[in-house]
Structure 1
Amino acid sequence: MTAEELQSLIAAGLPCEHIEVTGDGRHWAAVIVSPAFEGLRAIKRHQAVYGTLGQRIQNDEVHALSMKTFTPAEWAGQPRN
């Protein structure tokens, strides 16, 4: 799996205003900004992202995924480099 494929899977399952995926083919890091995260705690946000990956998580196609999840308002308040 490539970063682009993983990004597409997440974006197909969640409305994303911003998404960045990096990794080495098994271990991934993602920054995901979605209005769907409004009112959700971190665990529910992560579960929503895992839900977009379905069997790929269970089949170990995606071994590890580290996530930073934000609502659009939270993302707007984040410092940029």
Structure 2
Amino acid sequence: MSLQQQLTERLQSSFSPVHLEVVNESSGHGGYFPGKESHFKVVVVSDAFNGLRLVQRHQKVYAAAEGLLGAGLIHALAIHAFLPSEWQGQDTSSPDCAHAPKA
């Protein structure tokens, strides 16, 4: 099972999100090759974040991803964690990487 699939399953079971995106952004980073899974962006919209500050939300996402982060696994994880009431109109686009392959 791919890292993306594993991460998706963990976030789904941990947060029962009303919206979940797990995007492999590895192709936009240096050292990319087809099939590489190193850089991900997650957008999680869930009531599980009720009453939590942003850093606490991120800590919960990192806890759900435990064991998938580290050498040879997920190198970078961009987290966008929202309550359903906060979700509308949020920009979750990622900036270009300075080391991205040049076309």
Q: TM-score, normalising length from structure 2?
A: 0.66
- Residue 56 of structure 1: how far off its partner (Å): 1.8
CA–CA separation in structure 1 for the residues paired with 2:3 and 2:65: 13
1 or 2, which has the higher helix percentage? 1
- Residue 5 of structure 1: how far off its partner (Å): 2.6
- Residue 3 of structure 1: how far off its partner (Å): 2.5
Contact 2:17 2:46 in 1 (8 A): yes
The equivalent residue for 1:42 is 54
The equivalent residue for 1:15 is 16
Contact 1:14 1:52 in 2 (8 A): no
The equivalent residue for 2:78 is 66
Residues 1-60 of structure 1 show CA distances to partners (whole Å, capped at 9, x for unaligned) of 342332112112222111001113100011110101111111100000111112222565
| Counterpart secondary structure, 1:78 | coil
Supply the AA of the counterpart residue of 2:48: A
CA–CA separation in structure 2 for the residues paired with 1:5 and 1:55: 10
1 or 2, which has the higher strand percentage? 1
Q: TM-score, normalising length from structure 1?
A: 0.81
The equivalent residue for 1:78 is 89
Number of positions where the alignment pairs a residue of Structure 1 with one of Structure 2:
79
